[in-house]
Amino acid sequence: MVTFSEHFYSLQGEGRYCGTPSLFLRFAKCNMNCSGFGSTYALEDGTEVSGCDSLYAVNKDKFSSSWKSVDATYLISIVSEHLERYPFLSDLVITGGEPLLYSKDEEFLKLLEYAQLKNMRITMETNGSINVDFEKNPIYKEIVFALSVKLSNSGELKDVRVKKDVIKNIITNANETFYKFTVDGFSIDNGVEKEIEEILSIAKSEVYCMALSQNGEQLQKESKNIAKFCLKHGYTYSDRLHLRLYDGKRGA
């Protein structure tokens, strides 16, 4: 059994396949909190909690009542229903939380095998800190890994967020990978390019940089700074299309 947060059909908002119609399966639980990102959520009692932009899939104390313990049958039924409704659908995005917490789980693997059988392109959105056994589970060799390795602006300690052996293993063995870094004006002014260069020295892959933002207004304020940063260092700019279109609404 795996712990599941939500699913939704939308356009991929970030990275290499930005704008592509995709089915998102969001798994709950994470090995990081990323409090430095400062995204806020109002609870039913009016109090606010803050953390990453998917805190509702991370914060067990505040949000676990909305999580479900599910098996492969449940997950496969979601994919099957969407394939029937949208025959052109070819992209499945596995996100979280941190989905690789379930990388060895039989139910999780059955889901990936079903999607592969249906010729779907599977993108695994991961923070790049949990290792994968590519030899025991060769299906991971065929998956796209979007490595959102966290920088210091996440608020996480370096030895928690940067795992050299994990990053190298994934980039060496996966058929397709890319980095996706969350950057803001403050981190640019404080030498974030050195952090990125250090990660690239572990293993090289294409770099996408996107703005640290929770809604469309914040995205608009930061986007030009990120674009200039990308132009200066030769990185690829990534929009956050879901924020621009839906202003940070959950499940969009």
Residue 27 sits in a domain whose CATH number is 3.20.20
Q: Is residue 4 within 8 Å of 73, Cβ to Cβ?
A: no
Closest-CA residue to 41 (of 252, 251, 248, 217): 248
Two tokens, residue 201 = 């020295």
Residue 221 lies in a domain: no
Confidence of residue 39 (pLDDT cuts 50, 70, 90): confident
Q: What is the pLDDT of residues 202-242, one digit of tens each?
A: 999 999 999 999 999 999 999 999 999 999 999 999 999 99
Residue 248 lies in a domain: no
CB within 8 Å of 120: residues ≥ 6 apart: 79, 89, 90, 91, 92
What is the pTM (predicted TM-score) of this model? 0.96
E-assigned strand segments in 28-77 = 39-42, 48-51, 68-70
Closest-CA residue to 195 (of 146, 241, 161, 147): 161
Domain that holds residue 164: 2-181
Q: Which amino acid is at 152?
A: S
State the Cα–Cα distance between residues 6 and 107, nearest whole angstrom: 16
Residue 169 lies in a domain: yes
Residue 152 lies in a domain: yes
The count of other CB atoms within 10 Å of the CB of residue 183 is 24
Q: What is the pLDDT of residues 159-170, one digit of tens each?
A: 999 999 999 999
Residue 201 lies in a domain: no
Mean pLDDT computed over every residue of the chain: 95
Residue 225 lies in a domain: no
For the four alpha carbons of 117, 90, 96 and 173, in that order, the dihedral sign comes to: positive
Confidence of residue 51 (pLDDT cuts 50, 70, 90): confident
Residue 210 lies in a domain: no
| pLDDT for residue 251 is more than 80 | no
What is the total count of domains within the chain? 1
Residue 111 lies in a domain: yes
